[in-house]
């Protein structure tokens, strides 16, 4: 993770006539049982791309969903004036969906969700009764099952510009066996999809570390600036640009 972090600032934004200036801000919302440090490399890359960034920390395992959702409003308030975009990881996307169902920034921008459990995770269904699992993931984490009354399944579809990135690499063979179909070790590719999304991209990355992956970061910047992912972007191309930037820096 920390090897990728220093490299992230060398990832340039795709060329566009729109540009991204000081009037564009990105609010970052981390995932369950993580902190704002997990999105620090993403924040560096976004700042280098010309965005103002609010990397918001919230107590993901310490409160119920209804107590966590207002954190999004606090982050938006901290963003100040300008068009507000969002980048979320995992449960951060569910937090944002809930907040956007009843609130909006004065100037709504674009949203990129990384591995959002938009229809829940089978891991919560299977392991939710385990005391250790419950202790680690807290009240909010236990609401992320796949049942019709789960937190994500009670939320409306997207009615804002939304790009979603899903992963297909797992670090845990046991959890991988529990999850049906392609998955990132915690969330299936199918569960990340959401009605109303503009684009859906599947990459060979893991749930735990996708937010520091150079290709993911570059695709996030592409969607925020252009409104779509870059179909011609490959990991080899990203690493070549990164290596050249390091040499010249």
pLDDT digits (tens, 9 = 90+) for 115-131: 999 999 999 999 888 88
* Prediction pTM value: 0.87
Tens digits of residue pLDDT in 26-73:
999 999 999 999 999 999 999 999 999 999 999 999 999 999 999 999
Q: Which of 25, 205, 204, 177 is nearest to 107 (CA)?
A: 25
Structurally, at CATH architecture level, domain 4-13+20-229 sits in 3-Layer(aba) Sandwich (3.40)
What is the pLDDT at residue 21? 54
Q: Which of 84, 149, 151, 87 is nearest to 117 (CA)?
A: 151
The DSSP-derived string for 155-211 is SPPP-S-EEEEEEEE-S-HHHHHHS-SSBSSSSBHHHH--TT-SEEEEEEEETTTGG
Domain boundaries, the chain: 4-13+20-229
């Amino acid at each position: 993770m920390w090897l990728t972090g220093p490299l992230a600032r060398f990832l340039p934004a795709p060329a566009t006539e729109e540009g991204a200036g000081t009037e564009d801000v990105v609010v970052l919302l981390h995932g369950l049982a993580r902190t704002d440090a997990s999105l620090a490399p993403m924040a560096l890359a976004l700042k280098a791309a010309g965005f103002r960034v609010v990397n918001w920390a919230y107590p993901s395992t310490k409160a119920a969903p209804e107590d966590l959702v207002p954190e999004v409003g606090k982050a938006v308030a901290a963003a100040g004036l300008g068009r507000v975009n969002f980048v979320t990881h995992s449960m951060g996307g569910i937090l944002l969906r809930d907040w956007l169902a009843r609130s909006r920034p004065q100037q709504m921008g674009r949203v990129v969700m990384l591995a959002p459990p938009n229809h829940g995770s089978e891991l919560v269904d299977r392991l939710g009764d385990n005391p250790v699992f419950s202790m680690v993931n807290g009240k909010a984490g236990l609401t992320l099952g796949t049942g019709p009354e789960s937190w994500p399944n009670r939320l409306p579809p997207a009615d804002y510009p939304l790009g979603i990135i899903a992963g297909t690499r797992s670090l845990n063979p046991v959890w991988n066996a529990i999850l049906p179909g392609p998955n990132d070790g915690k969330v299936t590719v199918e569960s990340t999809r959401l009605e109303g999304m503009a684009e859906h991209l599947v990459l060979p990355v893991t749930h735990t570390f996708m937010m520091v992956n150079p290709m993911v970061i570059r695709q996030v910047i592409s969607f925020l600036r252009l409104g779509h992912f870059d179909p011609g972007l490959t990991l080899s191309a990203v690493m070549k640009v990164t290596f050249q930037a390091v040499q010249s820096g």
